[in-house]
Amino acid sequence: GAVVSQHPSRVICKSGTSVKIECRSLDFQATTMFWYRQFPKQSLMLMATSNEGSKATYEQGVEKDKFLINHASLTLSTLTVTSAHPEDSSFYICSASGGSEAFFGQGTRLTVV
Amino acid sequence: AQSVTQPDIHITVSEGASLELRCNYSYGATPYLFWYVQSPGQGLQLLLKYFSGDTLVQGIKGFEAEFKRSQSSFNLRKPSVHWSDAAEYFCAVVEFEGNKLVFGAGTILRVKS
C-alpha cells in the first residue's frame, strides 16, 4: 500500500509552547488529509479534514485556533498545537487519501509538561 | 450519520485457536468497510476492505471478513491466531458526506500461550 510518513514520532514540549507535526504522503498525491486524536484505550476521534489548498474543516468541539492545520501541497499537511497544555497530551495520527482509501501515518505521541 | 459498533472491548484467545471480532454498522446503502490493526504506540495498518462484489474478503496476515447486509455486520475472522496478532483492532466505515472514516471503539485482542 501507499506510504504515509508522520514526524516526529514522539515529542515532549513545555506548557505554553507550540508543536508542529508533519504528515507526508510519500508515493501518492493526497487530495484529502485527516487528523485524528486518540486518548489512551479509546478509539480515534477525527479532529479535522483538510483538502489541498482549502481551509480545514474542523469537527465539533475542536478549537481551530488551537489546532492549526495547513495542507499547502498534495503531499504535505501539518498540524500545529499552539500554546500546548498538559491536557493536549495525546496520540495524534494523520491519514492521507488520494481516492477511496486512506493510509495512516505512524502517529505522534505528544507529551506536554 | 454512520456509526460503527464493536461490542467486544477485550477478547482473549489461545494461540492456535480461531478468532472472530464483531463489527456492526449503521448505513442505508452499501458501505465501504475496513478493518485496521494497531500495535501499541503505532499507527494503523489496513488488514482488509470491502467496497463491493464478493462478500467474503481476504486480507493480509491470514485475516478475512464477511459482509452480511442482512445483519449489518462485517466480522473479522482468522482460523488460527498467532501470538503476534495481539493488538487492537478497529472496524471503520466511510462516511461519504465529508469522505471521512468513522471508527468503532476498538477491540483489544490478547493471545495466551
Could you read off the pLDDT of A31-61 as tens digits, one per residue? 889 999 988 777 888 999 998 888 899 999 9
Q: Does A1 touch chain B (CB under 8 A)?
A: yes
Q: Do residues A102 and A34 touch, judged by C-beta distance below 8 A?
A: yes
Give the three cell numbers for residue A109. 505521541
Is the Cα dihedral B37, B42, B43, B45 positive or negative?
Answer: negative
Put residue A107 in one of left, alpha, beta given phi > 0 → left and psi -120 to 50 → alpha.
left
Residue B47's pLDDT is what?
Answer: 94
Residues of chain B in Cβ contact (below 8 Å) with chain A = 32, 36, 41-46, 49, 51, 90, 94, 98-106
Q: Do residues A18 and A70 touch, judged by C-beta distance below 8 A?
A: no
User: Per the omega criterion (within 30 degrees of 0), is the bond before A8 cis?
Assistant: yes
Report how far apart the first and last C-alpha atoms of chain A are (Å, whole number): 36
Distance from CA of B60 to the nearest CA of A (A): 11
pLDDT at B98 over 80: no
pLDDT at A74 over 80: yes
Task: Kindly identify which residue of chain A lies nearest to residue B43, measuring between CA atoms.
Answer: A106
Q: Name the CA radius of gyration of chain B, rounded.
A: 13
Give the separation between CA B73 and CA A45, rounded to whole angstroms.
Answer: 22
| Cross-chain Cβ contact A100/B100 below 8 Å | no
Instruction: State the pLDDT confidence band at B32, using cuts at 50, 70 and 90.
Output: confident
